[in-house]
Amino acid sequence: MKNRIILLLLVAVTTAGSLLAQRGHRMPARELSEEMKTELGISSEQAASLDKLHQETKEAMAALHERTDLDREGKRDAARTIHQSTKDRVSEILTADQLASLKELRATAKAERRELMESVDRKAMREEIQEYRKTEIAPVMRAQRLKLEEDLSQDNKASLTEIRATLKTARDAAKAQHREHKATQRQEGKERDGHRHAKRGHQRPHRGQKLHRLEENHPSEFAALVAMVEEYDTEITNLLEEVKPQQEEWKAAQKAIKERYIPADLRREHPSRPHHKQIDGERAERAALAHKIRFLLKDPNKEEEQTTTDAPTLERIAASTYPNPTTNTTILTFELPEAAAMQIDLRDADGNLVRNVARKQFNAGQNKLPVDLADLQNGTYYFTLNSRSLKIAQSVKLLIVK
């Protein structure tokens, strides 16, 4: 399966021009594996031609990425032209049978990827990341923003209050429009296709896009925010610099959360992207401005909104393991007052994640979960049980003695 997905990435230059153009004009970096060449029956002469074409296309796309005389739409058109040329040349290199096999492999890889994507509990992943941001990042940034509040004039404070209200009204209107759009798609019986369209049309913008939309849709508010950033630039810069050492820790923690949910095959399918690299010039200035405006807009006197739920908040639940100590297996037993979605992890004595044991809905009453421990070494471990119903995550100690 992994090789087929790699094949999809590497040889999909035959049809993926427009998609790649929309995603920053990137080309796959890996060469076609020997196994895939064998599976398609590619001769050494064909392989050499494909490798050369692959390299030429990479170079053409890299040159396009560096061009400053084209706007975004111009670059997309140029990227489509490059990829159409690549597609035509691939059709000349491969035989009709090989192209047919390639099409079949692509369809299989697409179906396997979709199956993997559907296995990801994205809602739970987003909720865990949001909870981490709320408990670990937000309090620190709110404390930093509170320091700035002491330096702001009363006029600037009043102006910020008005701007926040204006932007909130705009966000609420956009959300209502999005909900109406999805409802219309469902009524038309096109929920699957409509969902894909909605993701393209209503996906969450990155910070650069947010800054552009703020400037375009709220020019007077944008101008006022830029003026305030310039007035308090030294104070804002110093406050943001103070938390820089913690930012890498925050990024690593959120990445670890994602990796527990997203299958390894999907992670390998998305290598590092150019926009994650160091940026300079005007783009760097815009990114810094967006960060400072975001910081300025934060309301230091407003606590993060708590997630509401109808489920009762529990201090603890009855949980135990047997046998304990154990050698190769144990049974984790816990009792719930009512059905609840639980995330159960196994961690070592230092708190490092060993594996995810379960992430699903459990019934009310007693639940028994057998756990295989044959691959683990002697030592102390902990099961951590987490749920929206639990006020804090609960741990159960386990000893492995072989």
Full set of structural domains in the chain with CATH = 2-119 (no CATH), 122-297 (no CATH), 319-400 (2.60.40.1930)
Which residue is listed with tokens 């296309």?
Answer: 57
Check if the beta carbon of residue 275 is closer than 8 Å to that of residue 26: no
**Confidence (pLDDT) at 281:** 66
Check if the beta carbon of residue 105 is closer than 8 Å to that of residue 35: no
Q: What is the CA radius of gyration of the chain?
A: 26
Check if the beta carbon of residue 174 is closer than 8 Å to that of residue 181: no
CB atoms within 10 A of CB 95: 14
**Confidence (pLDDT) at 220:** 93
Q: What amino acid occupies position 96?
A: A
**Confidence (pLDDT) at 277:** 44
**Confidence (pLDDT) at 26:** 39
CA distance 208 to 290: 7
Which residues are within 8 A (CB) of 64 and not within 5 positions of it... i.e. 6 or more apart? 25, 70, 75, 78, 79, 82
Size (the chain), residues: 402
Cα 183 vs. chain centroid, distance in angstroms? Answer: 25
| Residues 115-133: tens digit of each pLDDT | 777 767 777 788 888 888 8
**Confidence (pLDDT) at 70:** 86
**Confidence (pLDDT) at 215:** 85
CA distance 202 to 213: 13
Check if the beta carbon of residue 35 is closer than 8 Å to that of residue 3: yes
| Residues 285-337: tens digit of each pLDDT | 888 999 999 999 999 887 654 444 444 566 678 899 999 999 999 999 999 88
Check if the beta carbon of residue 236 is closer than 8 Å to that of residue 295: yes
Low-confidence ranges of the chain (pLDDT < 70): 1-33, 36, 119, 186, 188-208, 264-281, 303-315, 391-392
**Confidence (pLDDT) at 27:** 38
pTM passes above 0.85: no
> Which two structure tokens, joined as six digits, stand for 43?
């001769």
Q: Is 353 left (phi over 0), alpha (psi -120 to 50) or beta?
A: beta
CA distance 232 to 151: 8
**Confidence (pLDDT) at 267:** 61
> Which two structure tokens, joined as six digits, stand for 296?
């300025």
